[in-house]
Homo-oligomer: A and B are copies of this chain.
Amino acid sequence: MGDKIMKKSISILMAGLLSIAAVTAFAADQGVPFPEGYRNWLHAKSMLIQPGHALENPFQGLHHVYANKQAEAGLKTGKYADGSVLVFDLLQYQEKDKTIQEGERKLVGVMLKDAKKFAATGGWGFEGFAGNSKTERLVKDGGTSCFACHASEQKTDYVFSQYRP
């Protein structure tokens, strides 16, 4: 291969890689930030999903749902103002000695309400962060698959969790 052809091939390859990187970056950040401070928000409820459940991958584990102040109001009224954030904090668990105990964090799921920005997915932006990372984003389809499942909950503005005192 001549030098010129080699250089051209490399440029084309680089351009291709940059395009992929750009698309990936776009797909990986829909504008739902990591929910800083959520561990001090209202703990709305918890649930454990076992192996064999339809949502086993990726949701098998013990999850806790947290709500910021706007989402707390939403849980109580059924209407979520823009800025409402719900967090789905998914932990592994260990079953031993007649107990089930919390393990490592698997992912942090986030729903952020912005009726205009996320109109295509019910007014909610969906994101997931891997393990304890605040930057490794898991949602690659703009939240379409998340919303497909949440769509059944239209009556409660697409939120599964219900307030309990």
Contacts and interface: CB of A to CB of B under 8 A. Distances in A.
A164 interface: yes
Contacts of A56: 98
Given A53-B97, A64-B46, A97-B53, A39 B102 contact: no
A46 B49 contact: no
A23 B149 CA distance: 57
Nearest to A163: B39
A24 interface: no
Contacts of A49: 98-99
A49 B96 CA distance: 10
B101 A51 contact: no
A62 B39 contact: no
Nearest to A48: B100
A5 interface: no
Interface residues of A, number: 26
A81 B101 CA distance: 28
A99 B53 contact: yes
B47 A102 contact: yes
Contacts of A98: 49-53, 56
B64 A165 contact: no
A132 interface: yes
Given A98-B51, A98-B52, A132-B165, A62 B42 contact: no
Interface string A63-102: 0101000000000000000000000000000000111111
A50 B132 contact: no
A45 interface: yes
